[in-house]
């Protein structure tokens, strides 16, 4: 299936975040990735959160959104599958910075290993 996704949505304000959150709450599967500045700081900060749905990609700037608790609710919801690649550090960041407990994880790195492939 070859389809073109719309351009990503940059989410850099609380108002944009509320609109994004409304869309995310309607999904049963999300792809997620977190980026931090751990190579450049003793105590890292989460600098970027990328979330993909079937139809949309969101680039979220957590440094400009003071309340991300709505995402924590989705992260904890076992009815929503969260897809990561090599999730270990992302899980550490979510727990350390936000106190979130993730439920219903699919890690593509582990799926590839379980299937017997050395790399993806």
Q: How big is the CA angle at 67 (ends 98 and 23), to the nearest 5 degrees?
A: 100
At residue 49, the pLDDT reads 98
What mean pLDDT, rounded, does the chain reach? 92
Residue 40 has pLDDT above 90, yes or no: no
Number of residues written out for the chain: 120
Cα gap 51→36, rounded to integer Å = 15
Q: Could you tell me the sign of the dihedral formed by the alpha carbons of 37, 106, 73, 99, in that order?
A: negative
105: pLDDT strictly greater than 80: yes
Best CA proximity match to 49, nearest among 58, 41, 40: 58
- DSSP letters, 44-105, are --EEEEEEE-SS-EEEE-GGG-S--HHHHHHHH-TTSEEEESS-HHHHHHIIIII-----SE
Give all domains of the chain, ordered by start, each with its CATH number.
9-114 (3.30.420.10)
Quote the percentage of the chain above a pLDDT of 70: 96
Does residue 28 have a pLDDT over 90?
yes
Determine the pLDDT at residue 120: 62
- pTM (predicted TM-score): 0.88
Terminal C-alpha separation, the chain: 21
- Asked whether residue 84 carries a pLDDT value surpassing 90, the answer given is yes
- What is the predicted pLDDT for the residue at 2? 67
Which helix (H) or strand (E) element contains residue 59?
Answer: strand 57-60
State residue 27's pLDDT score.
98
């Amino acid at each position: 299936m070859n389809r073109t996704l719309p351009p990503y949505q940059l989410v850099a304000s609380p108002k944009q975040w509320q609109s994004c959150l409304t869309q995310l709450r309607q999904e049963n599967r999300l792809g997620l990735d977190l980026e931090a500045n751990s190579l450049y700081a003793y105590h890292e900060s989460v600098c970027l959160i990328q979330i993909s749905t079937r139809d949309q990609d969101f680039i979220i700037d957590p440094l400009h959104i003071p309340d991300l608790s709505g995402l924590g609710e989705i992260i904890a919801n076992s009815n929503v599958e969260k897809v990561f690649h090599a999730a270990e550090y992302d899980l550490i960041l979510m727990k350390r910075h936000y106190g979130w407990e993730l439920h219903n994880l699919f890690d593509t790195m582990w799926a590839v290993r379980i299937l017997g492939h050395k790399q993806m």
